Structure 1
Amino acid sequence: MSLGRTRAVGLSGVNGFVVEVEAHVAGGLPGFVISGLGDSAVKQAPERIKAVSSLVPDMLVNQRRVTVNLSPAGRRKVGTGFDLAIFVAVAAAMRIVPRQVVEDVVHIGELGLDGSVRGVTGVLPAAHAAFLAGVRHVVVPAVNAAEARLVSGLKVHPVSDVRELVQRYGDLARGRAVTAVEEPAPDGSLAPRPTTDLSDVLGQTEAKVALEIAAAGGHHLLLAGPPGAGKTMLAERLPALLPPLDEAQSMSVTAIHSVLGFLDEVRLITRPPFVAPHHGASQAAIIGGGSGHIRPGAITQANCGVLFLDETPEFDKAVLQALRTPLERGSVTIARAQESVTFPARFQLVLAANPCPCGNGWGQGSDCTCSVTMRRNYFGKLSGPLLDRVDLQVHVQPPGLSLAAQPPGESTRQVAARVAAARAVQRERWRGLLIDGWALNAYVPGSLLRSPAWRLPSSALAPLDRALDRGSISLRGYDRSLRSAWTIADLSGLQRPGRDQVELALSLRRQAGIAA
């Protein structure tokens, strides 16, 4: 019986799982069959492997009956990254490479018809999953080697051609020194990223206060105002106010970008991502999904960072409604007939909206050409349940000409220092309450803030109680205003919020004046 084994890694969402690759080679009617619930790319692997095997001496795959099994057979296998593992398993079954050596090695890579081993996406989460499963040696395409080495404790072996790999395994079996593969040099031609500073935004004192509160407590934010008032400038400066990601968050964010193929620089991403999709994006592009292979959407790409929806009322209403569950849970589950995949989606949402479709409906509105019906339909996409989940809703006034001659305001560094100090206070306060690794006011359950241990005095809660009695805010809005008040107190250096902080939090929730 000619049986060879090795390992590969499959991806489900952004999480990997080790796959046992078994190959049986026998005589009889020639054929090549792969079982184990592979997608179309996996089913096409036999043709690539047949072509490549002709380049290796004594590997006459076309004259044998080959059966390959990918275990666990009940989990879906997606992509061309299984090519190299299948090739090595077949080679082990035919005694081209030593069986005992390759059994405990993970092989990842796509094969070209010329024998080259081509790069694939998702190498970082695949390598991390292999390490967690106890694997210590992984063979990857040379172009992906630096990405795989981001997983500490894992021995990475780059390969650029299957003939080199077969020769290296042969040298290893004969006790010879293995020649190291020369890896491609990193591209140093990347231009430096442009830096933006909060001091570039003229005026907008109230909006800057709301931005600082949002950064300090992890709150969602709505900026409403006329075109050119600075809504986009404010949103783009929010990520710089946030502290760097910790090690676990960096690994998660980098793994997501690896799966999406957006990992431009081979290094851990340490800054919160900023994602700003176009308003014409589909629900699958924003939330995640797709036909056949389920891919992460923009909300997952923005995990641990900021999702900015400019011209929010121009987005499809179904897309906006689909944001409600991820905003509450911090994750999104995409269900299909054959599989269900859960992606992380713990992001800060920033919405921007004009006063009306034409954008001129501010001030006296003399230049506005929108009818009442047009305005109602425009803001009708921003439903009450969605806005109820946005803690801070502020109106951005257009800056006057007199502001152009004024000195710049506070810099990003100054505001970020206050944000970091406020977050340190929250980490200490909510030390035993971690949600997805975060200890921020925005994620604290309202029931806890209303419990006897943390409940504020009646005098401080009076504005919120009156608003709740009048029906101007919901119980969710009550809790979210409480969370904002705690953040305002943290920025002010107070132990607990008082009436002033509660009133400011409530006013910032109503300032935009948008009626859903």
Structure 2
Amino acid sequence: MAHFRALSAAVYGIDASLIDVEVDYSGTTTNEEHFHMVGLPDAAVRESRDRVRTAIKNSGYLIPPTFITVNLAPADLKKEGSGFDLPIAVGILGAYNAITLTDLSPFLFVGELGLDGKVRPVPGMLPVAIMAREKGIPNLILPADNAPEAAVVEGVNIYPVTSLLDVIDLLNGAIMGTIQREPFRVSTEKLLGELQQFTVDFKDVRGQQTAKRALEVAAAGSHNILMIGPPGSGKTMLAKRLPSILAPLTFDEALETTKIHSVAGVLDAAAGLVTHRPFRSPHHTISDAGLIGGGIVPRPGEVSLAHNGLLFLDELPEFPRNVLEVMRQPLEDHTVTIARASMSLSFPARFMLAAAMNPCPCGYFNDKSRECMCTPPMIQRYVAKISGPLLDRIDIHIEVPAVQYKELRGGAAAEGSSEIRDRVMTARERQRERFRSHGEKIYSNAQMTTRQIRAYCELGADAERLLERAMQQQGLTARAHDRILKVARTVADLDGAVAVTVSHLAEAIQYRTLDRSYWS
């Protein structure tokens, strides 16, 4: 037949769109350049002409000398990447009757071709599988290395292939459009049920009981936290152990996170599903595009790669101010929108921020064992690198003083991560039960809206007076007011209390170190 059609997909942001690959041939020619690609292909897609032609030849098939036109529809969407190689090759072979099936509408094809006909993996396969399920396409034919991530989507038959010949044999062996091969399957329950192993543990940390308690509260409610202390006090050590006390991912959270990692091309192909909460720790030389995301065709940045996990910024004032300021919107809205002339894409960015900083350039302001060599103007310039609006979005500010010798060499064993994590998971379960009836996806107290704060953070008369006094004396903003109530609700959940009491609220207020004019 002179005309043939195969289905493929293009990924924009973290979602996929269905693409029709139409192949038509006519006439005869002696010029191999009469192979035209239309439908807004980018350079990688245009180069697929040579890859596809050579892969078909090296697979034992010859393309007659005819005029070939390949259309990628809809024509108004820009097509990028090498994932269209496989559907283009299938369309050409179908047009020349090398494939016996004439209707390939039950199949979707994605994959890059090597010159030897091997099928290579491409990023973004999880969004493609989700789109196939939504469009009612029952079968997805893809590179073998991409099979584990696509197979976590139920309702779609996943058929991994290693070569173009494998695809042809698969389709020609189908009976009445049904492939005579068992689809690839994985057990998502088994993946998520595997016990997480951490190489670090809170029992390694000596002293710092106040900081450990603050980190426990932060983990239980997914609150942003800033640790302030001199060099060597253990701020980075504490932050690196924070993932060991976070609650496990739910399946919905794991799916959301895996989509982002899949699109960014950083997903572990063997795992297929992100089963641990991400821990991202970019260097302070990172650009704003690297942190938030960007590019001609926008790609997710570190804040999106940390979605449903932890973003750790060490030496916070060393980050360029413009880089820190772009975090204000994702910290508030839990999403990043990147606008370009050709498109505007949104990436989820619901992450827990953990940051660490010294109190001054030399690091020893307010330290009892070392003298600070900084002048007040130097300290003010150092602190001013972090804007008030950004600090306002950090729920917990905690001092991490230098560890005393007796604590450092003490023989008493510190509490381990497993005990802390049990309390965190119990508090998280209370939160999940509380928010189960809400339509939007809310997993923690930090995600509460203003209406939910009023409903779940009611205060008694004594607590009202305490909060009013703190607001007036510390000059707290309305945003700080809401964040104090969210933290107090988490403290109450850790305590197993139904209502927020004065003691819960007092602890939450104490976690606003910077609002108490720490450097004055």
Q: Normalising to structure 2: TM-score of the pair? A: 0.90
Q: Residue 130 of structure 1 corresponds to which residue in structure 2?
A: 132
Paired residues of 1:107 and 1:138 also in contact (CA < 8 A): yes
Shift of 1:181: 12
Could you tell me how far apart the structure 2 residues matched to 1:9 and 1:76 are? Answer: 12
Shift of 1:163: 2.9
Deviations 1:134-159, CA, capped at 9 Å, x for gaps: 11211112222233323233222222
Q: Residue 27 of structure 1 corresponds to which residue in structure 2?
A: 27
Shift of 1:83: 0.8
Q: Residue 15 of structure 1 corresponds to which residue in structure 2?
A: 15
1:288-307 alignment to 2 at 5 Å? 288-290=293-295, 292-307=296-311
Deviations 1:204-235, CA, capped at 9 Å, x for gaps: 11111111111111111000111111111211
Could you tell me how far apart the structure 2 residues matched to 1:175 and 1:309 are? Answer: 53
Shift of 1:58: 5.5
Amino acid at match of 2:93: A
What SS does the corresponding residue of 1:269 show, helix, strand or coil?
A: coil
Could you tell me how far apart the structure 2 residues matched to 1:336 and 1:365 are? Answer: 53
Q: Residue 186 of structure 1 corresponds to which residue in structure 2?
A: none
Q: Residue 157 of structure 1 corresponds to which residue in structure 2?
A: 159
Stretches of structure 2 that go unaligned for 5 or more consecutive residues are 185-195
Amino acid at match of 2:57: S
Shift of 1:406: 3.4
1:36-435 alignment to 2 at 5 Å? 36-56=39-59, 59-60=62-63, 63-172=65-174, 195-264=199-268, 265-290=270-295, 292-363=296-367, 367-403=371-407, 404-433=409-438, 435=440
Shift of 1:238: 1.8
Paired residues of 1:98 and 1:173 also in contact (CA < 8 A): no
Paired residues of 2:22 and 2:72 also in contact (CA < 8 A): yes
Deviates more, 1:297-306 or 1:470-479: 470-479
Stretches of structure 1 that go unaligned for 5 or more consecutive residues are 183-191
Shift of 1:447: 4.1
Shift of 1:392: 0.5
> CA 1:476–1:177 in structure 2 vs 1: closer, same or farther (change >3 Å)?
closer
Shift of 1:397: 0.9
Shift of 1:459: 1.7
Could you tell me how far apart the structure 1 residues matched to 2:116 and 2:183 are? Answer: 18
Amino acid at match of 1:52: A
Paired residues of 2:233 and 2:402 also in contact (CA < 8 A): yes
Could you tell me how far apart the structure 2 residues matched to 1:300 and 1:356 are? Answer: 30
Shift of 1:445: 2.1
Deviates more, 1:167-176 or 1:15-24: 167-176
What SS does the corresponding residue of 2:166 show, helix, strand or coil?
A: helix
What SS does the corresponding residue of 1:422 show, helix, strand or coil?
A: helix
Amino acid at match of 1:165: V
Could you tell me how far apart the structure 2 residues matched to 1:56 and 1:431 are? Answer: 54
Shift of 1:400: 0.7
Shift of 1:360: 3.2
Paired residues of 1:138 and 1:154 also in contact (CA < 8 A): yes
Shift of 1:38: 2.4
> CA 1:116–1:367 in structure 2 vs 1: closer, same or farther (change >3 Å)?
same
What SS does the corresponding residue of 1:484 show, helix, strand or coil?
A: helix
Q: Residue 187 of structure 1 corresponds to which residue in structure 2?
A: none
Could you tell me how far apart the structure 1 residues matched to 2:216 and 2:328 are? Answer: 24
Paired residues of 1:489 and 1:501 also in contact (CA < 8 A): yes
Could you tell me how far apart the structure 2 residues matched to 1:405 and 1:384 are? Answer: 39
Q: Residue 193 of structure 2 corresponds to which residue in structure 1?
A: none
Deviates more, 1:250-259 or 1:311-320: 250-259
Deviations 1:70-129, CA, capped at 9 Å, x for gaps: 222222322111111111112212222135243321111111122221111222222222
> CA 1:173–1:432 in structure 2 vs 1: closer, same or farther (change >3 Å)?
closer
Deviations 1:301-356, CA, capped at 9 Å, x for gaps: 11111111011111111111111111111111111111111111111011110122
Paired residues of 1:219 and 1:484 also in contact (CA < 8 A): yes
Q: Residue 485 of structure 1 corresponds to which residue in structure 2?
A: 488
Q: Residue 189 of structure 1 corresponds to which residue in structure 2?
A: none
How many aligned positions are there?
504
Could you tell me how far apart the structure 2 residues matched to 1:174 and 1:364 are? Answer: 81
> CA 1:101–1:280 in structure 2 vs 1: closer, same or farther (change >3 Å)?
same
Match for residue 511 of structure 2 among 498, 508, 516: 508
Amino acid at match of 1:506: I
What SS does the corresponding residue of 2:102 show, helix, strand or coil?
A: helix
Shift of 1:274: 0.9
Deviations 1:357-397, CA, capped at 9 Å, x for gaps: 23233425855443433322222121110110111100001
Could you tell me how far apart the structure 1 residues matched to 2:348 and 2:414 are? Answer: 36
Paired residues of 2:457 and 2:485 also in contact (CA < 8 A): no
Deviations 1:30-60, CA, capped at 9 Å, x for gaps: 5222222222211221121222233355542
Could you tell me how far apart the structure 2 residues matched to 1:112 and 1:168 are? Answer: 19
Match for residue 475 of structure 1 among 459, 475, 478: 478
Q: State percent identity of aligned pairs.
A: 38
> CA 1:178–1:432 in structure 2 vs 1: closer, same or farther (change >3 Å)?
closer
Deviates more, 1:79-88 or 1:112-121: 112-121
Amino acid at match of 1:229: S
Q: Residue 455 of structure 1 corresponds to which residue in structure 2?
A: 458
> CA 1:219–1:34 in structure 2 vs 1: closer, same or farther (change >3 Å)?
same
Q: Normalising to structure 1: TM-score of the pair? A: 0.91
Deviates more, 1:419-428 or 1:392-401: 419-428
Q: Residue 188 of structure 1 corresponds to which residue in structure 2?
A: none
Amino acid at match of 1:325: Q
Amino acid at match of 2:233: A
Amino acid at match of 1:399: V
Could you tell me how far apart the structure 1 residues matched to 2:8 and 2:326 are? Answer: 35
What SS does the corresponding residue of 2:58 show, helix, strand or coil?
A: coil
Amino acid at match of 2:275: T
> CA 1:402–1:138 in structure 2 vs 1: closer, same or farther (change >3 Å)?
same
> CA 1:106–1:367 in structure 2 vs 1: closer, same or farther (change >3 Å)?
same
Amino acid at match of 2:511: L
Could you tell me how far apart the structure 2 residues matched to 1:420 and 1:54 are? Answer: 57
Paired residues of 2:58 and 2:115 also in contact (CA < 8 A): no
Could you tell me how far apart the structure 2 residues matched to 1:335 and 1:349 are? Answer: 24
Deviates more, 1:338-347 or 1:69-78: 69-78
Shift of 1:64: 1.9
Could you tell me how far apart the structure 1 residues matched to 2:450 and 2:176 are? Answer: 66
